[in-house]
Each structure stands twice: as C-alpha cells, then as structure tokens.
Amino acid sequence: MKIAIFGGAFNPVHREHVNLARAAVNELGLDKIIIMPTAVSPHKGGRLSADFWQRYEMCRLAFSCIPQAEVSNYELTRGGVSYTYLTCRHFAKIYPQAERWFIIGADMLENFPRWKNPRDILDCFSLAACAREDGKSFGLYKNDVEQTFGTEVRAISYVGEKVSSTAIRTLAALKEDFGGYVNGRVCQYITEKGLYSIDGLAGVKDMLKPERWRHTVRVAVMCAKNAARAGLSERQAVTMAALHDCAKNLPHDSDLLKGFKLDRPVPAPVWHQYASAYVAEHTFGIKDKLLLDAIACHTTGRENMTDADALLFLCDMLEEGRAFEGIAELRALFKKDLHRCLYAALCHQIEYLERIGEPIDDMTYRAYNYIKEKFYE
C-alpha cells in the first residue's frame, strides 16, 4: 500500500493544492492521500483565518474530486501545536507496512531544515516535493535538504502556477472576485460564510475611481503578504492599505472632510495622505494610531518612520501595477531588506521630483535624512 500526507493551513484551500494532490496520486501511485489541515500552525500566526472546521469543510469540498483523498481532523483531536513530526509518527504506527510519503511545495522545502525535529519526519516518511517556484530555486532547496539529511527528495514533475492564499484572503476581505483561484463550491462557501471579512471597510470602493481602487487592491495584497515583516497582523495590513487613498478622489469641500484642516501648506499630490487618515478615523472608525500614522505619511514618508509606515510607503510605490525606471531594482531590494529599500526609494523619489521640477514636501527630506543617519552614518 502507498499512502501520503499532504498537510497545510489550507486557509483557504485553492486550485493548486488540489492540482498538486492529483499529481502526487498519479506520479507516486498512491492508494490514499491524507489531507491534513493544521489545527494550530507553528508558522502562520497573525493571519486572517477561518477556524479549523471551516478549513476542514473547504478541504472536503475541494478534494472530493480525487477518489484517493481523505480529509483528516487528526491534528485537531490530538490538540496542541500542529507539529508535523508528531503527525508523521502517528500515521507511521497506523500504516507500518505502507510506502509512506510526505508532500510539500518548494516554498516549504526551503524552510524544511528549520522545522521542529525534521529528522523524525524523515525517519517515518519519505519526502516528495513539487516545484512551485522556478526550477533553479527548487533545485537549490532540494539539494540543501538532501545534503543536510542524507536523504533523497522525490521531485513531483507537476510545476503548476503560484497561487497565494494570502492574496485570496485579501480579495475576500475587500469583497473582490477570487473565484478563479478556488473550487466553485469553496468560493460559494467562503462567500456565504463571510470568511476573511473585515468589518468597517464597506463603502471605500465606492469612494474611489475604478483604477484607483484596483491600485488599492494591489497595495493591500502586497501589504498582507509582507505584514509580518512590519510586525502587523494581516487584518491591520489590509485595513491600512484599503484606506490609504480613501480621500484621493474626494473634493476638498466633501462633507466627509468637514473639520479637516492642515496646519501648513503642502504640495497638491501630498494632500490626500492627510485627508485619507482623517477619513479613515472619522468616517471608518479606525482608532489604531499605528495605521493612521502610516496612512498619513504614505506619500512623503516622515522622520522616525515605523516599519508599518515603511511597508505602506513601499507597497504604494512598488505594487505590481506601477512602472518606472528602476522599479525592478527596488522590488528586488524590498524582498531582501525593508530599510535599505526605504532609503533607496526615498532617494529615487527626491531625485525624480527634482528632475521634473516638482515641489518636494519637507517631510520627505526629513524621512530621507532620518533613514540615512540611522542606518548609513
């Protein structure tokens, strides 16, 4: 008998999870593939989340098209943190004579040596991995695991597309279409249950022009994916991104801006960051000062920028819809180092505005000098 465990948060389960499971069944000749939603993940705190039974039900709906698939609630019934080595020990005892495989994607393969007790996993199960990243990266991760543990990693030939559960959660939170990424019944389940919703954001889409809203969604997805780097929860990251431009298309005499005034003149392109922070607080009821401060400096930066400030500033500048000379280098730097990227982005912004003869807000100079002094002098 040949069995496999395919574990994950499945928050939510998407089409590439199902495609990988199907490929594993076919390539490994599996008689059974056990789908294992984590109960309490050791790796993924702070995210917009469905509860265990909701994720279990989504898995049941999604994997019903694979006859060999069986969704397990073992990690919930066991209790505690969902450490893979404990799950593998348990199922090795249940299937002592079976050929046993543990299936992961390339992104998880990269971090496998840092999992808790990885050798215990490999004592119980052989490892099979699907290259969800580019082939070169997958080869590096595979070789690293093989050399570290003296074991062979079976490569599943299915490469697939990179689908992000974080992006799906963000789209669901913003009431945007995500049906192309999940099974139809899963999509219906998420919508009917209102999973991943964030209270208080209703109406922001109607305040923005269509292209500005599309920009907002892209910023929200990028912020959500990088929330932990700024010490934010996904909910915080999506909320500040959703509202960062909420006053962008409002007339200055809008009823929503009654009581709003600035204590100094600012360049026209800068006005909306302050107005958006005001509307976020007074119309949408946001009281989190960390988020309001980030919204209020997302165009200019400021002295003593927090990591939340830096994240929103950079995501607003570098989201995938933006295009300008030098953006590829800035995006590459963003992946490596938030503060170095912030410094480079502020340099780029000042140089660009000087070149085209546009006024530069004093806040931008202060932000630049602060970052330069703190990290580079």
First to last CA, the chain: 63
CATH number at residue 239: 1.10.3210.10
Q: What is the pLDDT of residue 369?
A: 93
Q: Are residues 14 and 158 in the same domain?
A: yes
In a domain, 168, yes or no: no
Residue 152 contacts residue 101 (beta carbons within 8 Å): no
What are the residues whose beta carbons fall under 8 Å from the beta carbon of 339, sequence distance 6 or more?
Answer: 310, 371, 375
The answer to whether position 109 is within a domain reads yes
Residue 212 and residue 154 share a domain: no
Bridge partner list, 129: 104, 155
The angle, 0 to 180 degrees and rounded to 10, between the axes of the packed helices 362-376 and 338-356 is 140
Instruction: Give pLDDT tens digits for 91-127.
Output: 999 999 999 999 998 778 889 999 999 999 999 999 9
Can you give the pLDDT at residue 275? 98
Task: Please give the pLDDT value at position 42.
Answer: 58
291 and 351 belong to one structural domain: yes
Sign of the alpha-carbon torsion through 194, 195, 201, 207? negative
Handedness of CA 21, 141, 318, 174 (dihedral sign): positive
The pLDDT, as a whole number, for residue 23 is: 95
Q: Are residues 110 and 238 in the same domain?
A: no
Residue 44, pLDDT score: 55
Residue of 120, 18, 107, 108 whose CA lies nearest to 69: 18
The per-residue pLDDT for 300 is 97
- Select from 163, 185, 208 the last residue of a domain: 163
225 and 371 both lie in a single domain: yes
Mean pLDDT by 10 residues, the chain (377 residues): 96 95 96 94 69 97 98 94 94 98 88 94 95 68 91 87 93 96 97 94 95 98 97 97 98 95 92 98 97 98 96 98 97 96 97 94 94 77
Is the domain of 333 the same as that of 259? yes
149 lies in the same domain as 204: no
Residue 97 lies in a domain: yes
Does 105 reside within a domain? yes
Distance, CA of 295 to CA of 247 (rounded, Å)? 11
For residue 133, the model assigns a pLDDT of 52
Residues 155 and 278 in one domain: no
Please tell me the total number of residues recorded for the chain in this structure. 377
- As a whole number of angstroms, the distance between CA 47 and CA 44 comes to 7
Residue 316 CA: distances (Å) to CA of 166, 201, 231, 327: 18, 19, 18, 12
For residue 344, what are the domain limits? 200-376
208 and 356 housed in the same domain: yes
Number of domains in the chain: 2
